[in-house]
Structure 1
Amino acid sequence: MENFINGNIEMLVLTSTILSVVAVITVMVLLLEVRKMRKPFIEMADLYTDIGTEKALEKLLKGVDENREFMRSQSEDIKMILARIDKCYSGTGIVKYNAFEDIGGMQSYSLCILTSHRNGVILTNLVGRNSTRGYALEVKEGSPSRELSEEEKESLKYALRSLGEK
């Protein structure tokens, strides 16, 4: 054992030094964390000292009540926002195609936009060489107001799928 210690004294001293430095750094970090955790309690104790226990407690409880009221109003605002979002368009489907043989570039399209209740509209735009025509038709609860073309059916299918339907 004595031979081991004598033969490795430099390594043992180096290891001990490194462990000591790590321990000192760890203690410093922990002291900083404790100081951060103590700050609110010190501020509260100072408040008790400055204005007295009863007044300080009243002030703290008033702050709690104000926070509770603020959270209640935020909750109401969130409910209102969620109700609005429910009516917004959130499902979309678009199909681009060539409506006429003499026009390339897939310039015609059928676009379906729906709310979460599957209400909305399908907009179809047909682009020809000398004219462009646009159509809109209403969709209620996922059902169109008239017979659909294949492209319109496909855009409705994509919009319903984007809402999570199969």
Structure 2
Amino acid sequence: MNSNIFNAIGLGTLDPGILFLVLILLVIVLLVLVIIQGNRFKKLEKKYNKFMQGKEADSLEDEIIGLFHDNRMIRSENEKNRKDIIDINRRMARTFQKVGLHKYDAFNQSGGKLSFALCLLDESDNGVLLNSVHSTDGINYSYSKDIKAGIADVELSGEEKKALDMALDSVNRR
């Protein structure tokens, strides 16, 4: 075979059979590459279709918008909960958290320990001390004393002091 093009590029003496075999081999290699790329594309397409399918065939955009909406709701609820917790903690500081109860027999009678001193304190050791004295004739006398920062406004009896100390120590016993 005599070709001007082959002569121009220096392949004028090339056997056409060799050229045909090389071209067939090149076509086979390209065909294998196309098949491999086709398989990769099908796998990628399956992943893409699976990814694009949302619940009940919703679009991915709708799913993302829904997630953003849910995220906003969660953030607002979280902020509300945080404010509520701060409010609860603020209120808790003023509630009675420490309790001291000392029961005693006021007149050493055999009737048992019917008298008591009860101390109720908040977080700052402010509160009240109640003393209930049961007498031998069945009459009950009750007294209250203010407590500020763990100190009574008037002098305390021994039983009242025990109740106050129990209340002050009640946090350590938890």
Match of 1:80 in 2: 87
Match of 1:94 in 2: 101
Moved more, 112-121 or 63-72: 63-72
SS at match of 1:137: strand
Match of 1:136 in 2: 144
Aligned residues: 123
SS at match of 1:146: coil
Q: Does 1:50 align with 2:91?
A: no
Match of 2:117 in 1: 110
- Measured at CA, do residues 45 and 76 of structure 1 come closer, stay the same or move farther in structure 2, by a change above 3 Å? farther
Which letter maps to 1:91? K
- Measured at CA, do residues 48 and 124 of structure 1 come closer, stay the same or move farther in structure 2, by a change above 3 Å? closer
Gaps in structure 1 of 5+ consecutive residues: 1-42
Gaps in structure 2 of 5+ consecutive residues: 1-49
Cα RMSD of the aligned pairs, angstroms, is 2.2
- The TM-score with structure 2 as length reference comes to 0.65
Structure 1 stretches of 4+ moved >6 Å? none
Q: Does the 8 Å contact 1:103/1:128 carry over to 2?
A: no
- The 5 A counterparts of 1:27-66 are 46-47=53-54, 50-66=57-73
- Measured at CA, do residues 48 and 92 of structure 1 come closer, stay the same or move farther in structure 2, by a change above 3 Å? closer
- Measured at CA, do residues 49 and 99 of structure 1 come closer, stay the same or move farther in structure 2, by a change above 3 Å? closer
- Measured at CA, do residues 163 and 48 of structure 1 come closer, stay the same or move farther in structure 2, by a change above 3 Å? closer
TM-superposed deviation, 1:89: 0.3
Determine the C-alpha separation between the residues in 2 that align with 1:122 and 1:152. Answer: 7
Identity %: 28
Which letter maps to 1:67? I
- Measured at CA, do residues 122 and 56 of structure 1 come closer, stay the same or move farther in structure 2, by a change above 3 Å? same
Question: Greater helix percent: which structure?
Answer: 1
TM-superposed deviation, 1:52: 2.0
